Structure 1
Amino acid sequence: MRTDVSGPVLFARYAFPPNSHGYCGPNDHDAFFEYGVTGADERGLRELSRQFAGAWPYLELIAASLGLDDPLDRRVVDAYWVGNSRLNRVTPTAVGNSMEDRFRRVTGTKFPSLAESINAGGVPHHSFAVFCIYPWTGLLSDGRKAEHALTVLDQCRIRWGKVMAVQGDQVVVESTPLTWDGRTLGFGERITETVVRSVDGVSMMDDLEIGDWVSMHWEWACDKLSDRQVRYLRDFTARHLRIVNEGNLHQGPAALLGT
């Protein structure tokens, strides 16, 4: 049975994987993991969550658009990481103003190309950040080879997969990888991959069974998903891939991945 947790704890489940790699958020990722395990909506967890400079402004944007005071409201957190119908209530003007404040100075003359994603229907979903923003802001450009850069891009997005086997602290899932043909990003043939669900039996998420759908971030399984959530995650990811592929934004991934 899937157990709903509070917004802050759900945020920890998704934000811990990149934080453990040192990509974003607070330095003390062990404390972040412990909060996620205990499932306590405590002030300390909320303070750590505010240190995610990439994700936090998106949560604030979604919350403001929904008339909610708490950026860590579960509905907001679910909208950002997985996606739900509430994202359609965030207006292009609100998204544009947020992007202007955050990225105009960073991207300079490239900003108009980035702004195209908003006019094309981009919304504050994590896939928007990964595909439409990161390649233009240098967050993924550090001299990696193109093959490794594609792996990073794939691992950075929230993926979905069906559980094929549970093996102690690991889970074998069937998933769909990201592909790059020199011009467009897409989805490849289904593959089998192994992800982590716990450390020495200690986990932030529910027990899993064969046939369950899970979300994944980097090498971690984050949460059990309903069929509806899988559709939302797949659809919002596809939306932002389409935006990148059909407009000038493809130049961002091209510079990162090569042509």
Structure 2
Amino acid sequence: MPPLPEDGREALTTGAILFARYAYPPNELGYCGTADHQGLLQYGAEGTVDPGLVQLARGFDGAWPYLEFIAGATGIRQPLDRRVVEAYWLGGDLLDTIDMVQFGKALTDRFRRRAGQGWGFLAEAIPAGAVPSHAFHVFAVYPWVGLLRSGRTDTPLEQLEQCRIRWGQVVSSEGDQVTVLSRPLTYDGTDIGLGERRLETARRSIDGLGFLDTFRPGDWVSLHWGWVCDRLSRRQLHLLQRSTMRQFDLTNKRVAHSGVREAIG
């Protein structure tokens, strides 16, 4: 492959580091990816990108196919381009440029057999406005929403809360922990939503090794499985909030749509 232009290398580098920071928390818990969670933490903390990090990213059999699909569908050369990685974790306009039929076929190829009885909802979600984001994977592909609706609420609600990418506002930080204000996931027996802001403690590092060096009260940060992953700009905060509420709307309505057959073939 010919060398990337300077801006392409920068996009790949920052995208790969961003991926490491969001992927590390569930990887540490053994939920996804390879066994080298310490390596992923070091990559995310040190900001180093080499073939080893790319190989680790390829080991995420949930996230990596989405990155490949988003890149291919939008004409971006690298799955770890920052635009692709940010769109997957936070949402964004890039995802709205993807053809519905193309997404439907990709979803069919990968998830139809795995989804079982839940396939009907996945098929309906695409023409109803679903996009290939992490929020979609959490609330549509994983079984937790179905378990919520069956009456088993405590564990599924906590799994959804921790697995989704959340936003919080920094109150204080000390040592390896940060105190933030965040809005918890709620379920009233019918709809998923967000509750009132509450204080919670998140991890920022392990023995001083983490993704962000300093925190100021009022900073907005992203949270994943109890970790602070990144500092959010106003633009990124808006993307994440919009993507989250969009997915909540789809999940709550489970809209049947006349375009289903066209989308999934």
The answer to whether TM tops 0.5 is yes
Partner residue, 2:4: none
Partner residue, 1:241: 248
Q: CA deviation at 1:110?
A: 3.3
Partner residue, 1:223: 230
Partner residue, 1:254: none
Partner residue, 2:106: 98
* Paired AA for residue 187 in structure 1: L
SS of 1:71's equivalent? Answer: coil
Question: Which whole-Å CA distance do the structure 1 matches of 2:54 and 2:134 have between them?
Answer: 19
SS of 1:127's equivalent? Answer: helix
* Paired AA for residue 201 in structure 1: G
CA contact under 8 A between 2:115 and 2:141: conserved in structure 1?
no
Q: CA deviation at 1:137?
A: 10
Partner residue, 1:189: 196
SS of 2:142's equivalent? Answer: helix
Partner residue, 1:176: 183
SS of 1:209's equivalent? Answer: coil
Question: Which whole-Å CA distance do the structure 2 matches of 1:237 and 1:226 have between them?
Answer: 16
- Please state if 1:64 is matched with 2:72: yes
TM-score scaled by structure 1?
A: 0.88
Equivalent residues in 2 for 1:1-259 (5 A)?
6-135=14-143, 146-247=153-254
Instruction: List alignment gaps of at least 5 residues for structure 1.
Output: 250-259
Cα distance per residue 1:113-136 (max 9 Å; x no partner): 221110110001111111111127
SS of 2:143's equivalent? Answer: helix
Partner residue, 2:5: none
CA contact under 8 A between 1:206 and 1:224: conserved in structure 2?
no
* Farther off after superposition, 18-27 or 200-209: 200-209
Cα distance per residue 1:115-170 (max 9 Å; x no partner): 111011000111111111112799x89xxx62122111101000001101111211
Q: Percent identity?
A: 50
TM-score scaled by structure 2?
A: 0.86
CA contact under 8 A between 1:206 and 1:223: conserved in structure 2?
no
SS of 2:132's equivalent? Answer: coil
After superposition, the Cα gap between the structure-2 partners of 1:167 and 1:89, relative to the gap in structure 1 and judged at 3 Å, is same
Q: CA deviation at 1:43?
A: 0.3
CA contact under 8 A between 1:110 and 1:136: conserved in structure 2?
no
Q: CA deviation at 1:109?
A: 4.3
